[in-house]
Structure 1
Amino acid sequence: MADRSLRDRVHEIIFEADTPEGKIFDISLLVLICFSILVVMLESSEDYNEIYGTAFFYIEWILTIIFTIEYVLRLWVTIRPWSYALSFYGIVDILAILPSYLSLLVPNSQYFLIIRILRLMRVFRIFKLGQYLSEGDQLGRAIIASRNKIAVFLFAVSILVIIIGSVMYLIEGGTNDGFSSIPRAVYWAIVTITTVGYGDITPQTQIGQFLSAMVMILGYAIIAVPTGIVTNEMINTDPKGSRVSTQVCRYCSKEGHASDAEFCKYCGGRLNEV
């Protein structure tokens, strides 16, 4: 019973941001994450690494040990550990510590520690920005609802760039300006139609330049299509305007529950143990 109470208390501190202790824990964790990201970025600089390389090494391992202990505690206090381990945050947490251990076998793999920046997404829960979570959930539902239309749109664009690339290859193929094959011409079509325009491949003939101008103008119209699709779905999607709390289910580790919810809407587990 005492062990159960300890697990409940640790869970409240680690997973919840409603209590002073939980908020202090989460803010301290965010500070350590930001510091870790800064160290990884500085270590990638040869000048800084030459001077502070040893310090960076010890700092990285100290932070990795801290994050490892935190991850183990999260598994310990969760009633169904695999639910948390396979959740989005659980996967991010394990990926945030694996590169340090992999660096013992694979040189320079520690730079993948930059993935720790994804852990900063917890800032929405820590500072009770529940309205942003609700808006994000609405956007996610709109994207899922429009996935078929987006798939058809991407398929149509893929066919279009292949056709444009093939035509451009026929026009510019013998001018030695980079259109050496249809795949290279398709690459140019993708870069041009998305309005990126690297400039590494450019048409030299007047017909090719005219086609290039048409593709650039077409690119602006194409960019507007997926925006309109998602916007239309967002208008027709029920926003479910209930306020979102910071409660995390101890059974499935899911978030996004209404502020007055007593049970998890995903697995049915009780949110507040009594």
Structure 2
Amino acid sequence: MCKGCGTLGYQDNIKEKIYDVIFESETPVGKAFDILLILTIIFNSALMIFESVESVRESYGFLITSLGWFFIFIFTIEYLLRVYVAHGRMSYIFSFFGIIDLLAILPAFFVTFLPQARLLVIFRIFRLLRLFSILKMGRYIEESSQLMRALKASRAKITVFLFTILFIIVIVGSMMYVIEGPENGFVSIPESMYWAIVTVSTVGYGDISPQTSVGKFVSGVLMIIGYSIIAVPTGIISNELAHTTKNLVGGKQCRHCNWQAGSLDDKFCPKCGKEINIET
């Protein structure tokens, strides 16, 4: 009888149990682990947000630092356990979530001898992406794929729209530089273009404002254009999204351009003109 077989079998059994807890969420223990991990990630992210507030950092610096290292310890143990019990160890290490899990803990150890690495703690926020895996949000991939297809189909119209906006901004910015001048805050054409961008987006910071009657008139016209512009990209994408959804619901879609293939008797796509190569 093999002397080490019992020990190896026991170790394999322990690994499988840990694997079921960490990687499987269908068991009661696995669900409990996922809930605990979600809470830990949320609390850790909230801690980082509050740490950036100077008054909070000055009042509770020691507590924040202690909790931060506690979360790092938890994440480190979790990562090591995932590597240890993963069926495909290298596959996990170099997977998307494996890299995210590693980036969440490495900066904390680097900062002890490399203070500049403190800026890398932002990677800990990326642990929130783990929620997509835990909450099984992959079921929404098809919906996101439809949106991406709609954006891809409308890229030409969106490009024309953006170039039109850029043209308006350059022209109006140049006009306001001439009309208002440096004495009213329009010290250069780039500065005037910044004002045009803020105005056409209807944000209106108010740090630069026209003082002359002509300048106010141009500003008013630009504001009206800004309100009308808001609806343009929405309409373009909504139209393409409706076509994409109709294609999928109809069960027939051109693989060349993702457009409605038409009736079953159509031989050519009504959009790209290519011979229809459809998915049914």
What amino acid maps onto 1:214 in structure 2? Answer: V
Q: Look up the SS of the partner of 2:88 in the other structure.
A: coil
Provide the residue aligned with 1:85 in structure 2: 94
Distance 1:75 1:144 in 2: 38
**Where do 5+ consecutive residues of structure 2 fail to align?**
1-7, 250-280
Q: Deviations over 1:178-231 (max 9, x none)?
A: 100000011111111111110001111111111111111111222222212221
8 A contact 2:83–2:92 mirrored in 1: no
Higher relative contact order (CA 8 A, sep 6+): 1
Q: Which region of structure 1 is more displaced relative to structure 2, 70-79 or 153-162?
A: 70-79
Shift of 1:236: 2.1
Any conservation in 2 of the 1:124–1:132 contact (CA below 8 Å)? no
| TM-score, normalization by structure 1 | 0.71
Residue 217 of structure 1: aligned partner? 224
- Partners in 2 of 1:22 and 1:141 — Cα distance? 36
Paired with 2:177 and 2:214, the residues of 1 have a C-alpha distance of: 12
> Which range is displaced more, 209-218 or 66-75?
66-75
Which range moves more in the overlay, 201-210 or 62-71? 62-71
Identity of aligned residues (%): 46
Match for residue 232 of structure 1? 239
- Counterpart-to-counterpart distance in 1, 2:13 and 2:202: 58
Residues 98-129 of structure 1, C-alpha deviations (whole Å, 9 max, x = no match): 43234335548647645544433444553456
Query: Does residue 1:61 correspond to 2:69, yes or no?
Result: yes
Change (3 A) 1:209 1:98: farther
* 1:164-243 mapped onto 2 (5 Å cutoff): 164-174=172-182, 176-238=183-245
CA distance in 1 between counterparts of 2:17 and 2:248 reads: 32
C-alpha separation in 2, matches of 1:79 and 1:179: 61
Please give the alpha-carbon distance, in whole angstroms, between the structure 1 residues aligned to 2:131 and 2:83: 21
Gaps of 5+ in 1: 242-274
Number of equivalent positions: 239
Q: TM-score, normalised by structure 2?
A: 0.70
Residue identity in the other structure for 2:242: I
CA spacing shift, 1:104–1:83, aligned 2, 3 Å: same
CA 1:81–1:221: 2 relative to 1, 3 Å: farther
Residues 173 and 180 in structure 1, CA contact (< 8 A), matched pair in contact too: yes
Structure of greater Rg: 2
Q: Hey, what does 1:138 align to over in structure 2?
A: 146
Amino acid at match of 2:192: A
Q: Give the alignment's Cα RMSD to 1 decimal.
A: 3.3
SS, match of residue 184 in structure 2:
coil
Larger proportion of helix: 2
